[in-house]
Amino acid sequence: MTLYTRPFQWFFDNDYDLVDYLGSGGFGIVRKITSKEGTFAMKTTKCWEFGDIGHREFHALKRFQCHPNVLKCHAGKRSNDGFRLLLDLAPYGDLRQVVDKHGFCRRHTAHCYYNQIMGALHCMHTSDDYCHRDLKPENVLVFSRQLCKIGDFGSSLPMDFESKKVPRGGTRRYHPPEIISVVNGIKMDQWGAGMILAFCLIGKDPWNAASMDDPEYEAFQRGDLSALVQINLRWKRLTNTDFHFLRQILHYDPKKRRVPKCYKRNF
């Protein structure tokens, strides 16, 4: 089975060279490939272990290709080792790789990425009632200081039209504090975006779990920046303005979280 064969026939004919290993996760492996048409990333999902996630991710990505902050997917095909996706290659890798290398993101860059992520989410949530469900630094690809794109749509699902509910999924560290198995998909994605902003600004995951048993989360919800700095000096990088903003978008009560005006117009 092949999808979107033109102008990428070379991909389906296997007329390319494997150049480098880029990374792997729970659902597959990503490699750098070259062809006469250029350099790309090829993601292979092991269908026999995880169902048809690769096929689902392909169709989810194709839904939102019009948005500049969604990773470009050029083609998809089944192969002997799973389902392969032909993707744009991010020259700087994912956001975790960038932050691990440089320590943190400058304030302007961090907020730029956050706004772009929120713009892509708004498109997904309002145009097609879709939820990403696994927002984290590893799933944000960096193209420049002014451009990032959301990738890895393997966990994405359509939301219930009226309630916007989806089964809880993704990475526990980036889960919102709502202790329920079915959550509001919009609020879950917005929480993930806020966590990514905090990660960029301080240079580490804000906490291990959104639970009052976690010392960093507890101090954050109390608004005690001094206590956070005592736990980890990286919190010292936050300005008071950014700390206040993070506490608004990562409020423990989903009804009190600050959201962009565009969401207020739609919901």
In whole angstroms, give the CA distance from residue 214 to residue 186.
25
8 A C-beta contact, residue 99 and residue 199: yes
SS3 182: strand
8 A C-beta contact, residue 53 and residue 154: yes
Q: Is 43 marked as binding a ligand? A: yes
R_g of the chain, CA atoms, integer Å: 19
Q: Report residue 66 as tokens.
A: 């019009």
Cα-to-chain-centroid distance, residue 15? 31
8 A C-beta contact, residue 46 and residue 28: yes
SS3 152: coil
In whole angstroms, give the CA distance from residue 102 to residue 100.
6
In whole angstroms, give the CA distance from residue 71 to residue 74.
10
Binding residues: 43
Binding residues for ATP: 43
